[in-house]
Amino acid sequence: MPRCWEWLDRTRTAREHSRCLTTRPPFKPRTRTIDASPDKTPWIEIRDLHFARGDRKIFDGLNITIPQGQVTAIMGPSGTGKTTLLRLIGGQLRPDHGQVLVEGRDVHRLSRRELYRLRRRMGMLFQSGALLTDLNVFDNVAFPIRENTRLPEPLVRNLVLMKLEAVGLRGAVSLMPSELSGGMARRVALARAIALDPLLMMYDEPFTGLDPITMGVIVSLIRRLNDALGMTSIVVSHDVAEAGSIADWVYLISEGRVVDAGPPEQLRREASDWSRQFLEGLPDGPVPFHYPAPDYLDDLMGGDTR
């Protein structure tokens, strides 16, 4: 599957080119049967990962396989370490124990140069968007292209406009990040993350703060990008319905471990108590709603003053 900019290199028009992002047939959820672990070639393997923040264990023997070319959703309650997991995959944090293998190579054993080369093929949508506040929308999306390639400026412009068109914000090119709403900022951040057509896209909560229409567009965009460009995608979310609708494979994590895994339909059908509670949003069950805390009554009565 040729990547978008290779088509452009062969002197197609920008309109023709943008078709690969915007005018593909609408996504139909595919039904396929996958056994206990995804059977595609693994792109990322996380083996026996341990990670702690201070005394608090975030991961305690986590095993995850991300297959190539598929959308893998990672779901779990707030504060389980989903963002932390993405940072570990991106090499920004070091595990205390265990490995993160990307294409069979341990991310945390790479030299700085190799790590940066690897990151050039990764895109990450930050939970907060994390746009560069001193650059306008255009320059933000152009930033990774300009920094990592030597494409001529007219080409950069076309690429940027195409990515912005895909998220519906081509009209906002000259706005500053402070002039964007939260949802718009995240869409710009999405355009920036896919600017270099990465092989691996990591989306951290891509659905929060979007209105229903935008949500629908973004959901199908993620799926289309994955299929059209042959990406591998990791979607971190606690939005069960949306993540379930695009994912080929879902991992549910809690308390540092995978508690359930499988294709979304299967999970919905034969989920454990834990997964059922999470997927159906029941307040009571095996999943604790609270951050670990001292006994509520003791706390209120001021029994144990800190």
Partner 1 sequence: MGPFQRLGRSALGVLERLGRGHLFLLRTLLAMGTLVRRPGLLLREIYSVGVLSLLIIAVSGLFVGMVLGYQGYITLVDFGAAEALGTVVALSLVRELGPVVTALLFAGRAGSALTAEIGLMKATEQLSSMEMMAVDPYKRVIAPRFLAGVISLPLLAAIFSAVGVAGGYFIGVGVLGVDAGAYWSQMQASVDFHEDVMNGVIKSMVFGVVAAWIAVFEGYDATPTSEGVSRATTRTVVHTALAILALDFILTGLMFGDI
Q: Counting contacts by CB under 8 A, is residue 117 touching partner 1?
A: yes
Binding piece for partner 1, criterion CB under 8 A, among 52-60, 87-95, 246-254, 291-299 = 87-95
Q: With CB cut-offs between 5 and 8 Å by kind, which of partner 1, ligand ATP, Mg ion, none does residue 132 bind?
A: partner 1
Nearest to partner 1 of 11, 111 (CB atom): 111
What is the smallest separation between the CB atom of 138 and Mg ion, expressed in angstroms?
Answer: 28
Q: Is 208 in the site for Mg ion (CB under 5 A)?
A: no
| Least distance CB 69 / ligand ATP (angstroms) | 25
CA dihedral 82, 252, 229, 218 (to 10 degrees): -70
Q: What tokens appear for 10 in the block?
A: 């062969």
CA 80 to the chain's CA centroid: 16
Residue 92: beta bridge partners? none
Residues in the chain: 306
Return the number of other C-beta atoms located less than 10 Å from residue 20's C-beta: 21
Query: In angstroms, what is the minimal distance from the CB of 279 to ligand ATP?
Result: 16
* Cβ nearer to ligand ATP, comparing 169 with 287: 287
Q: Half-sphere exposure of 55 toward its Cβ, with a 13 Å CA cutoff?
A: 1
Q: Please state the closest distance from residue 128 (CB atom) to Mg ion, in A.
A: 9
Tally of CA atoms within 13 A in the half-sphere of 259 that contains its CB: 20
**149, interface contact from partner 1, ligand ATP, Mg ion, none, CB < 5-8 Å by kind:** none
Residue number with CB closer to ligand ATP (40 or 238): 238
Binding test (CB under 8 A) with partner 1, winner from 22, 63, 148, 158: 148
Q: Whole-angstrom Cα distance, residue 211 to residue 185?
A: 13
Which residues have C-beta within 8 Å of that of residue 56, sequence separation ≥ 6? 292
Q: Please list every residue from 103 through 162 that binds Mg ion, using CB under 5 A.
A: 127
Q: Using CB distances below 5 to 8 A depending on partner kind, what does residue 276 bind out of ligand ATP, Mg ion, partner 1, none?
A: none
Tokens at 250, concatenated: 């879902």
CB of 159 vs Mg ion, minimal distance in Å: 29
181 dihedral zone (left: phi>0; alpha: psi -120 to 50; beta): beta
Asked if 275 and 253 count as a contact pair (C-beta separation under 8 A), the reply is no
Question: Is residue 219 within 8 Å of residue 239, measured between CB atoms?
Answer: no
Could you say which of Mg ion, partner 1, ligand ATP, none residue 80 binds, taking C-beta under 5 to 8 angstroms by partner kind? Answer: ligand ATP
Query: Which chain residues interact with partner 1 by CB under 8 A?
Result: 87, 90, 92, 116-117, 119-120, 122-124, 126, 128, 130-133, 143-144, 147-148, 189, 192
